[in-house]
Structure 1
Amino acid sequence: MAHTARSAASRVFLVLLAAALIIGVLVAVFLVVDAQRAIRAEAERVTSATAIALANSPVVSSALAAGDQANATRVLEPYAMSIVEDADLDFITVMTTTGVRITHPDVEQIGRRYLGTIPEDPSPLTEVFTGTLGPSVRTIEPVTDGDGELLGWVAAGVTIESISETVIRRIPLSLAITAGLVVFGALGAWIARRITRRIAGDLPPGQVRDAVSSYESIRTLGDALRAQTHEHGNRMHTAVALLELGRSAEAIEILTETSRQSQSLVDQVTARRHGDPAVGALLLGKASQAKERGIDWRVRIEPDTPRSPLSVVDSVSVLGNLVDNALDAAADSDDRWVSVALSPSPEGGIVLEVSDSGAGVPEELSERIFTSGFSTKPGGTDGRGIGLALVKAVVDDAGGTVELFAHPTTFRVMLPRADTPRRPR
């Protein structure tokens, strides 16, 4: 069963949909990680603030200063538990200077030593430690009297499990945001697919490129033939006028010069073993365009130049776009000239070089000029940003290369042998 290539519109839809899914997943991961970070930071802030508040509470300091642990437990245990509930903490432990617990959510742990780091100096410390309730974010704060004498310690903490539960509660919101992004992305992909299908129909990308190449070939060949027709028309009108005035010698000279110029190029084209009539017609027409614009036209075609691996349409499109760019660049220079050279490569392929006397391409733009949609021409130029991108696409498909050189500005196209397998599109 024959394989049917996906249309350009379908590929655009799939690429954009995949991008929307990837972005959605990345956003979901970011939201979850950010939520976890924010909740942990909030836990550190709350435990620190609570521990500081309790350490400075007269109730706590007076109970510890009395030195009666049993009485301190009776006073501070309900006090600590009420704050645990109000502050949404998992535990508050008030302890002696040596770390013996006076309060704890599990009354069986009262009187045992605190599991955690007790600073050597009376200073606060926030850490993650595994205690009787599991791993937790906790802050320990010293309790001192008016003279700065250490009376005991207060530790407030939130378990990692509680932090995880809070993160889990936020996951539905993250998923809802992700789903919204994916839906909007899918809608955008669908709209892009409709727009692409309106432009390209159900053609696969390769055929879309062929259609653009065909259009460019017809355009550049049409411009060339128009210029040639216009030039010959002017010469014929001049010759007829001279004949009517009885100046037949001058009329013959004009017609002879026209024939001589055209014949020189025809001889170069037909001298090739594998000459291409369409390329020959294009070069003849471009010669007329160059003369019409006051540009010196130079062509050199080696007779042993092999057959091109490109189709006639692609050959005209590549050569025509390069020559059009060269003519536009040369038209803005003082020394106006354009040179086209066709010769065999050492590997048996073709070397096409199109040079001009223009100002050249800035080095920082040497790669971007081959990008679709980019152009150094004015915004109103027809086909803006298509020509060089199309040239590169055609040459790449054929397994060739396009290079840009300066001084003078030269585009060199290296094409492989005609029997070289083409790259799959």
Structure 2
Amino acid sequence: MKARHVYLLIPLFLLQALTVGAIVGTVFRTVDTAAQTRLWILDFMALADVLVLLVTARKLSRTEAEEAAANPVQLYMAARAQRHDVFNHLFVIRGLLQRSDFDRAITYMDELITDFKEVSDLLTLGKPVVGALIMNKAGQARAQGIDFKLTVRGNLTGLVVKETYLTKILGNILDNGMDAVQMAPEKKIELKISEEKNSYVFQVTDSGDGLTPRLRRHIFKPMFSTKGPGRGVGLAIARQLTDMCGGTIEVRLNPTTFSIIFPKLPL
């Protein structure tokens, strides 16, 4: 596959931006100042997504771009699903505004602005396949009533780890977190991705019952699980792949937090 496949995402996000702009133009004069402000923010963020994607694609090294383009169908389907979701939200907003239900429209737009920011943060990662995985896991979590929060600081363009390994590692840790919060009074998962001075860090925190010191000592052993037979494989695979890629996984208690750390390699 060629690196240019990464650029296939740009027309999809441009169409999304144009649709947002069309809806803004349709209802703008009929709403109050607060709603107008939020409409402008939505329009700006939709256009910003296109620019961020273009800049990110240009910054990808040749190797990373080709690796990201190894499965263009996956990238296309992820972007198409995101566009479909945004269209649905925008039509809901237009309906609320046309009925002069401004309070509900403002609340809805605030939630949508948060979602737009999340997508923009993922586009700046420099790892499109990892971004697609996180979008998918966030959708799964929210469908289960889990409050999924994402924080991104920096980017991963310098991280020399195969994306297929990285998605398996992160996917298994996030799946573990979703399992852990199923019976919690407040179901929450927070994923923090940061570029530090000497490392790249993925931190997953969940609001589950937590781990005892004994469980922490055994949690990465194959087939060890508190969820019954046939489980306990995901964390073992995550640990094995992380070790293979030169990284480490640290576990902190109260609340349960998994930190996946990959050292920066010298230039």
Measured against the shorter chain, the TM-score band is 0.5 to 0.7
Which residue is 1:329 aligned to?
180
2:160 to 309, 314, 321: 309
Counterpart of 2:88, as a letter, is: M
Alignment gaps of 5+ in structure 1: 1-217, 421-425
Which residue is 1:365 aligned to?
215
Counterpart of 1:316, as a letter, is: T
Counterpart of 1:386, as a letter, is: V
Q: Contact between 1:295 and 1:338, CA under 8 Å: does it hold in 2?
A: yes
SS at match of 1:354: strand
Q: Contact between 2:127 and 2:156, CA under 8 Å: does it hold in 1?
A: no
Deviates more, 1:400-409 or 1:253-262: 253-262
Q: Contact between 2:89 and 2:112, CA under 8 Å: does it hold in 1?
A: no
Matched, 1:403 2:211: no
Q: TM-score, normalised by structure 1?
A: 0.38
- The structural deviation recorded for 1:254 is 8.8
Which residue is 2:33 aligned to?
none
Over 3 Å off, 4+ runs: 235-240, 246-259
Which residue is 1:90 aligned to?
none
Q: Contact between 2:127 and 2:157, CA under 8 Å: does it hold in 1?
A: no
Matched, 1:298 2:145: no
Counterpart of 1:232, as a letter, is: D
Q: Contact between 2:146 and 2:189, CA under 8 Å: does it hold in 1?
A: yes
Matched, 1:339 2:190: yes
- Report the count of equivalent residues: 189
Which residue is 1:268 aligned to?
121
SS at match of 2:205: strand
The CA RMSD over aligned residues, in Å, is: 3.7
Counterpart of 1:260, as a letter, is: I
Deviation per residue, 1:155-182 (Å, 9 max, x gap):
xxxxxxxxxxxxxxxxxxxxxxxxxxxx
Q: TM-score, normalised by structure 2?
A: 0.59
- The structural deviation recorded for 1:265 is 0.8
Q: Distance in 1 between matches of 2:152 and 2:228?
A: 33
Matched, 1:415 2:262: yes
Q: Distance in 1 between matches of 2:223 and 2:259?
A: 21
- The structural deviation recorded for 1:392 is 0.7
- The structural deviation recorded for 1:356 is 0.6
- The structural deviation recorded for 1:404 is 0.9
Deviates more, 1:318-327 or 1:288-297: 288-297
Structure with bigger RCO (C-alpha 8 Å, 6+ apart): 2
Structure with a larger share of its residues in helix: 2
1:279 to 130, 150, 168: 130
| Shift in alpha-carbon separation, 1:355–1:237, aligned structure 2, 3 A | closer
Structure ID, larger Rg:
1
2:228 to 370, 374, 378: 378
1:388 to 230, 235, 247: 235
- 1:184-263 to structure 2, matched below 5 A, reads 232=85, 236=88, 239=91, 247=99, 256=109, 259-263=112-116
Q: Contact between 1:239 and 1:254, CA under 8 Å: does it hold in 2?
A: no
Q: Distance in 2 between matches of 1:410 and 1:280?
A: 21
| Shift in alpha-carbon separation, 1:345–1:299, aligned structure 2, 3 A | same
Q: Distance in 2 between matches of 1:399 and 1:296?
A: 32
Alignment gaps of 5+ in structure 2: 1-70
Q: Contact between 1:300 and 1:342, CA under 8 Å: does it hold in 2?
A: yes
Q: Distance in 1 between matches of 2:105 and 2:119?
A: 21
- The structural deviation recorded for 1:258 is 6.5
| Shift in alpha-carbon separation, 1:238–1:378, aligned structure 2, 3 A | farther
Q: Distance in 2 between matches of 1:281 and 1:254?
A: 27
- The structural deviation recorded for 1:249 is 6.2
Counterpart of 1:393, as a letter, is: Q
SS at match of 1:366: helix
| Shift in alpha-carbon separation, 1:248–1:316, aligned structure 2, 3 A | farther
Counterpart of 2:216, as a letter, is: S
